[in-house]
Structure 1
């Protein structure tokens, strides 16, 4: 067949195809969707999606048929053919439609529809049979419907066939030949791929019909496809109880471990599978690692072990890449399978770990543990963003903790080690205090600066010095900026303890020993009038010693108290 004849064949068959799609749309889909009480909300949504994608495909075919008529009256250059020039639009439209109809099929298909819809379909069974080109009168209604709505996929084979005919009209070395040949391969490849997708959907539907009802309701999803399962006892759990039942089901997005009426779902994006060596006692064993579980599966034969390992690895790889196994458009070769990476990016919500229960981690992983940069969020609003190592916060990171009572939050930015604040960091408290310095085991430890309030606030203060286990200890300086008072000296357990110096804005100066925030022991007190008292101070405000005149050798509590209290009032307020 020549070039022009092949183009006429394409135009003619495209118009017929458009006419059939239009009939299905106007005589089946539109009346069906106009009925009330079609079924559950999910069923209606899935059917509406099928109808929407079908309408889009119908419109595309109609436009293509019209463009072919214009093309035949024009220059007729092969490279200007819409089916070549906009091949990605055709391929995407068919893929989207196939996805919607297979999702509908997996969830039960037309059997999900309520009685009014089924009655309508039964009344129009002859029309359905004619449109679907099913000649056997004994064919069941549901089978006719499946054939009818998968009918558009067959058109891809026709595209591939006609494009190949057109290619033979050119020299093998010409660009036109290569373009037509490649496009033909693309359409044929997609047709085969979508055919496999239909079989996967039918296989999955058959599985759901035999699966226990309650678990089906929770596990069944439109996009979920069955890859393989262990009901033939080809796979078992190591060290399982004698009477336990363990059923493993591999879907395209998760590995499910079912036991009697319970089950657990392990998302593939955070699942690692590796074969056990003979030295580890696992001739036919597979080690499965997830963020919160690790278990060993034993296969019945080496062949089963290879089969399951390959199936899991391929499924994990596809889940991580977020794509189907369809080759890239323009390539006739199949995708080279890869072992899923040990290090990967994924999102996971913890359900078991007490520290992380219900928290969601989104970031890098390594062999089942957060490792690298990531974000960890708890339901109560806590959030850590930064580096992880072996499942714990480690490295530089930012941590936020809501304070509901104050309607603010604590905020830490700095270094971490093994899940705890450790090293240099800045902690801003909801109260307004800010600590800059060293941390260890989530506590202030080492040298640091604590600021309370701002310079414009009613009570700004500052401490700079040493900390031990979240308390002031060692040498430190406390400066009460509002009162103009400063303490420089030793601390222990958050109180002044040992030698120190106090200076106030009123000219009072004390240098000596402190005990539990009180001047106690040997010391020198200088008042604002330059009077110096040197001697032994006690916690009942008794002073034994001399003043700078040398006339007072010993001053008792009663004689000194009125004057001494006046002198020390500011110091007492400052220290306490």
Structure 2
């Protein structure tokens, strides 16, 4: 051991002090558990379901802490009969287990306090508490006989937290028994700081809970029911008129309440909650007309708060910034274990990751976005889900789908979904992409403003289905337009030519698997105008085609000289009808 000779006895004495006080502490916790907690849990009509659940959680965390202390006391007895190396102390070696257990217990008891748990226990537990008042005072170490029973019970449940100060004190005593330059001294010193730091931190958490409870007692009843949550803590509020809404009506009432997870704007009997994870606050300069002004930006609203003085402006800006930063970190303001220094406060990032459900925007109403944000708007990679099952996953820019992304749209009638994978611009499909329809069709090509536009390939069905076909060519505003090729694979027929408004229009060629060939003009999917028709037996007809199936021209045998005077006319009519059926 790196002990100074004269401090060996001090080291042993400090170890015995720790072991003795730990056994006493365990005995007290066991008494509280068996004589107070268990009887309380067995009472009927303890209050709301939430209250009962919170009390059960307190009891569970208390039991866990009690077990840990009991095990620690037993380990200290063994330790005193062994080598007694400081680094082997359980409280040192497994400090994170102790720190976490005390933190979890404090969280459960402060949540119970915030929800008015002690007040709700008053009525169902009054008889039990009156009968055991002397026991309560003895266990809680409250000597004032005028102290109310609920206050005694409150003190009793917070009693375990005080043990952290004792750990810090004993560890510091042990540290002084070693040379300052020794690793044992440094380890004991650091651990002592950790326990003391946590004790102070949990003390602040208790005060925050008591401050929040006092606020709920004065807050309007209906809003309390909707806003009150076990983990929610009050940071500051504007009832002293230190903060007001810019351009508010003369007789309007605007009350701003900053919690650890949200900024609430209350007006008479209504209120709105702005989650801190998606809230941005920045000071307004005097040049911008913002004397003592704070600009608040949220995904769907933007407003300016005016403080009464520059000092109030600084106070609110700091409070909001710190609360937002802490909400984004998802942790308390407790320094990391092993560090005695306080957390360095910083401005919350303009770009961040957060989850938000829209309530106002018509296009996004009730949709939930989870991803990257920039100054109040989705920006970067994220996932957007609608209640009806629609989902977009990909890149965003300035609040809109922009870049590469994947979009799914359920089709309830077919029990399938449409699926698009490709590029977006300003919230719409734009650029190269692949759209798979619930019907089985697949389009690969260019999009613009959510429509097929440009060159693309549309496949309908599969080779094993009844009507597989393929179109490759130009599209304008979601319709075939310009040059394109339509191939009916099942029937073995192909059209190559011009299109307009989704129909064959202009010059084109039709070829069938039976050897029929037509080249000429088309109008509204029909052969109309000049054209050449070639049959499988090399018979050629060249002339005018009309809408009423009449032909005007001659064939290669010279037999057709005028309409209606040719034995081949029925044959050509049959051919024409077959081609038109293909086009339709």
- The answer, yes or no, to whether TM exceeds 0.5 is yes
Question: How much does 1:557 deviate?
Answer: 8.3
User: Following TM superposition, by how much is the alpha carbon of 1:546 offset from its aligned partner in structure 2, in angstroms?
Assistant: 1.0
Q: Contact between 1:43 and 1:113, CA under 8 Å: does it hold in 2?
A: no
Instruction: Provide, for residues 309-352 of structure 1, a one-character-per-residue CA deviation record: whole Å limited to 9, x for no partner.
Output: 00000000000000000000111000000100000000000000
Pair 1:108–1:558, CA change in 2 (3 A): farther
The 8 Å contact of residues 544 and 556 in structure 1, kept in 2 or not, is answered as no
Residues 122 and 150 in structure 2, CA contact (< 8 A), matched pair in contact too:
no
Aligned-residue offset at 1:142 = 1.2
Could you say what secondary structure the match of 2:467 adopts?
Answer: coil
Shift of 1:550: 2.4
RMSD: 1.1
Deviations 1:280-303 (A, max 9, x none): 100200000000000000000000
Change (3 A) 1:557 1:123: farther
**Structure 1 equivalent of residue 518 of structure 2:** 510
User: What is the DSSP-based 3-state SS (H/G/I as helix, E as strand, rest coil) of the residue aligned with 2:256?
Assistant: strand
Distance in 2 between the 1:509 and 1:531 partners?
10
1:480 aligns with 2:488: yes
The equivalent of 1:555 in structure 2 is 563
- Tell me how far 1:113 sits from its aligned partner: 2.5
- 1:27 deviates by 0.4
1:511–1:524 Cα contact (<8 Å) kept:
yes
Normalized against structure 1, the TM-score is what?
A: 0.99
- 2:342 aligns to what SS in structure 1? coil
Whether the aligned pair in 2 keeps the contact of 1:465 and 1:477 (CA below 8 Å) is yes
CA deviations 1:217-264 (Å, max 9, x no partner) are: 000000000000000000000000000000000000000000000000
Say if 1:208 and 1:558 are closer, same or farther in 2 by CA, change over 3 A.
farther
3-state SS of the aligned residue for 1:97?
helix
Whole-Å separation in 1 of the counterparts to 2:513 and 2:340: 87
SS of the equivalent of 1:264 reads: strand
User: How far apart are the structure 1 equivalents of 2:583 and 2:126?
Assistant: 86
**Would the aligned equivalents of 2:113 and 2:210 in 1 still touch at CA under 8 Å?**
yes
Q: Which residue of 1 aligns with 2:444?
A: 436
Q: 1:188 to 1:557 in 2, by over 3 A?
A: farther
SS for the counterpart of 1:432 is coil
Give structure 2 stretches of 5+ with no counterpart: 1-8
1:550 to 1:30, Cα distance in 2 relative to 1, 3 A: same
* Residue 114 of structure 1: how far off its partner (Å): 6.8
3-state DSSP class of the match of 1:557? coil
How far apart are residue 38 of structure 1 and its match?
2.0
Partner Cα distance (2:264, 2:551) in 1? 80
**Distance (Å, rounded) in 2 between the aligned partners of 1:575 and 1:534:** 20
| Matched residue, 2:207 | 199
Rounded to whole Å, the distance in 2 between the matches of 1:558 and 1:230 is 98
Equivalent position of 1:356 in the other structure: 364
Question: 2:375 is matched with which residue: 367, 370, 385?
Answer: 367
Alpha-carbon separation, structure 2, partners of 1:486 and 1:114: 86
Question: 3-state SS of the aligned residue for 2:306?
Answer: strand
Higher mean Cα deviation, 514-523 or 111-120? 111-120
Provide the C-alpha distance between the structure 2 equivalents of 1:552 and 1:167, rounded to a whole number of angstroms.
119
CA distance in 1, matches of 2:567, 2:391: 61
Q: Is the 8 A contact 1:465 1:472 kept in 2?
A: yes
Once the two structures are TM-superposed, the CA of residue 418 in structure 1 deviates from its matched residue by: 0.2
Which stretch shows the higher mean deviation, 299-308 or 550-559? 550-559
- Are the equivalent residues in 2 in contact too, given 1:473–1:493 (CA < 8 A)? yes
Q: Deviations over 1:443-479 (max 9, x none)?
A: 0000000000001111100000000000000000000
Distance 1:50 1:567 in 2: 88
Number of equivalenced pairs: 576
- Worse-superposed segment, 138-147 or 98-107: 138-147
Residues 390 and 407 in structure 2, CA contact (< 8 A), matched pair in contact too? yes
Paired position in structure 2 for 1:175: 183
Q: Is the 8 A contact 1:39 1:114 kept in 2?
A: no
Q: Counterpart of 2:423 in 1: which secondary structure?
A: strand
Whole-angstrom CA distance in 1 between matches of 2:260 and 2:366: 24
- Give the CA deviation at 1:371: 0.3
The alpha carbon displacement at 1:115 in A equals 3.3
2: CA distance, partners of 1:175 / 1:8? 22
Deviations 1:20-45 (A, max 9, x none): 11110010001111222222211110
Q: 1:51: Cα distance to partner?
A: 0.5
- The farther-off stretch of 389-398 and 1-10 is 1-10
Please list the CA deviations of residues 463-517 of structure 1 after superposition, one character each: whole Å capped at 9, or x if unmatched: 0000000000000000001111000000000000000000111111110000000
CA distance in 2, matches of 1:141, 1:560: 113
CA drift of 1:179 comes to 0.5
More deviation, 216-225/107-116:
107-116
Q: Residues 167 and 180 of structure 1 are in contact (CA less than 8 Å); yes or no, is this contact kept in structure 2? A: yes
What displacement does 1:389 show? Answer: 0.3
Aligned partners of 1:165, 1:481: CA distance in 2, in Å? 90
How big is the shift at 1:124?
Answer: 1.4
Secondary structure, counterpart of 1:332 in structure 2: coil
Instruction: Give me the whole-angstrom Cα distance separating, in 1, the residues matched to 2:568 and 2:427.
Output: 56
Cα pair 2:504 2:525 within 8 Å, conserved: yes
Shift of 1:559: 6.5
**TM-score, length-normalised on structure 2?**
0.97
* Counterpart pick for 1:266 among 266, 274, 281: 274
Instruction: Give the conservation status (yes or no) of the 8 Å contact 2:391–2:409.
Output: yes
C-alpha displacement at 1:119, in angstroms? Answer: 2.2
Q: Does 1:294 align with 2:302?
A: yes
Mind listing any 5+ residue stretches in structure 1 that lack a counterpart? none
User: How many Å apart are 1:118 and its aligned residue?
Assistant: 2.7
SS of residue in 2 equivalent to 1:339: coil
- Quick check: 2:113–2:213 contact (8 Å CA) kept in 1? yes
**Residues 186-220 of structure 1 deviation map (CA, whole Å, 9 limit, x = unaligned):** 00000000000000000000000000000000000
Structure 2 residue 13 is the aligned partner of structure 1 residue 5: yes
Shift of 1:116: 3.1
* Separation of aligned partners in 2, 1:40 and 1:231: 30
Q: 1:346 aligns with which of 322, 347, 354?
A: 354
Report deviation, 1:556.
3.1
